[in-house]
Chains A and B, each alone.
Chain A
């Protein structure tokens, strides 16, 4: 019971907070944070998602782009100060009466790399449950607005390794790839029960739609990036890559889990019946490799103070898995599992990711904007930097995948080849609609 509660509760928490984590704030560069997460030049997401940027000159001296950024995780010091005996801290010990899953969830979702200048307050309204033999109603108060009306989840498409070698713009390599996607969606009845404080009905099914997918492998890749026209100050760059995806393994499950109430809410020998069904598909490592072809394209245009780029990844990347097993499972009073098919062909599709960016530099001022979509909503960053002698001032605004607006601001100090940057950003989590402020610090080597 307790495990179920913690597990399901944390899934909700993770889901609610996943969007900004996946799409925006996994950034350790205080400069980017100070500009609201904006990527400039070859920093951040641009080179990852736009193959043309491999050929674009970083122009470190013009944009103040460092060669190396080293984060200074002051937040860890703060965290260890607050929790000096972590192994015996009751708040982190599930067996303790002081165990606080909210704190644990927040620690995981907001890794304490940064210094919390202002903590995001959590809702303090009371939650009321009215229970009778044939009555159940939940009133979450203001917190009900946190119950997601639409699908929520975590999704990511990453390329953890990309070794290779190149010559005159061409590059041959082997790229690792990993795609995960977890999604939940509350059924209308359960949504009404939790969000709208509708009393539970008898003989009614309450359900959650569940989807999970993880797949990974490697992809021999041939790519090209180069300047098609112009020179380093006025140039048009193009890049492209063709991947032959080889899938080592994948697993996917699509389910509908819930329960059906009985004739009376809290009475009878069997007042509620768990009810669920899933279709699971998987191709284990060792089976015949999955395969598919896809590609990336990107262009970048640099003309004096203006820089524009567009990149699209994993175009047409459909993976065919020739040796897949399909199992169905039902639960209604007891578990029934039945193999559906084995050694059959199935297909999965990698999400198409895209990035578009614009930067404008005049004198010591740089302004920019970018849009990044990795398959689960767009993240928008708009920001800028003003350099004044040794100092730099930065500011920016971001809209995360939950369409929440966050703000960034900060500054930097540069001594020759070494710089110290400080960035502040506002953030919200799944437990609150109010913003907290975090401070990031990093050292830059130019």
Chain B
């Protein structure tokens, strides 16, 4: 159920109004992750055996308008804070998307952010991905998209990666139904 009712209203409105214009969906992905306490991920390097470097994949409500629409652009922007406790090195923060929960971490990440960290210092790494790879775009048409985060430490370091913002701006061409 979830987003379907709102998509119905939104698409009805779009049907009335969009004509040859575009529909732009600005989704605050961070608000979904924060509510699930999935916006924070500890990192440690080298990674001990049995310690995960990912969060459980989280569901976010997406457009749910079917595969006949054409996704023009998926722009992702936001920022991640690397709160480093010890060590010096690099932390790679990766974000994954998929429409199947089980497949979130099996593919390539949608994008990566790398921050150089030093002991006791919080490093903020903003990111702005102008457009996702074409192969990833159609999945945002589904009603539900699963998002996953992986933090990989390069060097002997430990800390926490905290997502402070993540927005997806999805531009749909006029092929709604």
Residues of A whose CB lies within 8 Å of any CB of B are 1-2, 4-6, 8-10, 12-13, 16, 94, 96-102, 121-136, 138, 140-141, 143-144, 146-147, 190, 193-194, 200, 206, 259, 265-267, 270-272, 274, 430-432
Complex Cα distance, B26 from A102, in Å, reads 24
Across the interface, do B24 and A96 meet the contact criterion of CB distance under 8 Å? no
Contact residues of B between 65 and 96, Cβ < 8 Å to A:
65-68, 70
Proximity bits, B1-30, A CB within 8 Å = 1, else 0? 111111111111111111111111111100
> In the complex the two chains form, is A272's CB within 8 Å of B1's CB?
yes
Output the least CB separation between A257 and chain B (Å).
11
In the complex, what residues of A have CB within 8 A of residue B8's CB? 1, 4-5, 8
> From residue A205, how far is it (CB to closest CB) to chain B in Å?
12
Closest beta carbon of chain B to A122's beta carbon, Å: 3
Task: Please name all residues of chain A whose beta carbon is closer than 8 Å to the beta carbon of B7 when the two chains form the complex.
Answer: 1, 5
A141 touches B17 (CB 8 A): yes
Complex CA–CA separation, A158 to B11 (angstroms):
34
Decide if the interface of chain B is mainly helix, strand, loop or mixed: mixed
A126 engages B15 (CB within 8 Å)? no
Q: Would B13 and A131 count as touching, CB distance under 8 A? A: no
Are A9 and B16 interface neighbours, CB within 8 A? yes
- Report Cα–Cα, A21/B59, bound state, in Å: 46
Task: For the complex, give the distance between the alpha carbons of A141 and B8 in Å.
Answer: 18
Q: How many residues on chain B are close to A (CB under 8 Å)?
A: 44
Is B112 an interface residue when CB atoms closer than 8 A count as contact?
Answer: no
Given contacts A9-B15, A133-B31, whether A127 and B68 have CB atoms under 8 Å apart is: no
Contact across chains for A2 and B66 when beta carbons are under 8 A apart: yes
Tell me whether B105 is interfacial, beta carbon within 8 Å.
Answer: no
List A contacts of B176 (CB < 8 A).
5, 101
A322 smallest CB distance to B (angstroms): 40
- Given A9-B12, A272-B1, CB of A132 within 8 Å of CB of B28: yes
CB distance from A18 to the nearest CB of B (A): 14
- Considering the chains assembled together, what is the distance between the CA atoms of A299 and B9 in angstroms? 49
Assess whether B32 is in contact with A133, with CB atoms less than 8 Å apart: yes
Chain B residues in contact with chain A, CB under 8 A?
1-28, 31-32, 34-35, 61, 64-68, 70, 143, 174-177
Q: Which residues of A contact B24 (CB under 8 A)?
A: 126-129
Enumerate chain B residues within 8 angstroms of A144, measured Cβ to Cβ. 17
Residue among A5, A6, A136 having the largest count of chain B Cβ atoms under 10 Å: A5
Q: In the complex, what residue of chain A is closest to B15 when comparing beta carbons?
A: A9
A132 cross-chain contacts in B, Cβ below 8 A: 27-28, 31-32
Known contacts A125-B17, A138-B9, A143-B19; can you find 6 more A-B pairs with CB under 8 A?
Answer: A2-B177, A127-B21, A130-B28, A131-B28, A138-B13, A200-B6
Q: Which of A2, A127, A274 contacts B5 (CB 8 A)?
A: A274
Cα of A171 to Cα of B59 in the assembled complex, Å: 73
Closest CB of chain A to B9's CB: distance in Å? 7
Residues B68 and A99 in contact, CB atoms below 8 Å apart? yes
B16 to chain A minimum Cβ distance, whole angstroms, is 5
| Cα distance, A163 to B64, chains bound together (Å) | 54
Does A124 contact B21, Cβ atoms closer than 8 Å?
yes
Given contacts A135-B31, A266-B32, contact A128 B26 (CB under 8 A): yes
Tell me which residues across on chain A come within 8 A of B19, comparing CB atoms. Answer: 102, 121-124, 143, 431-432
Complex alpha-carbon distance, A132 and B6, angstroms? 12
Closest to B66 in A: A2
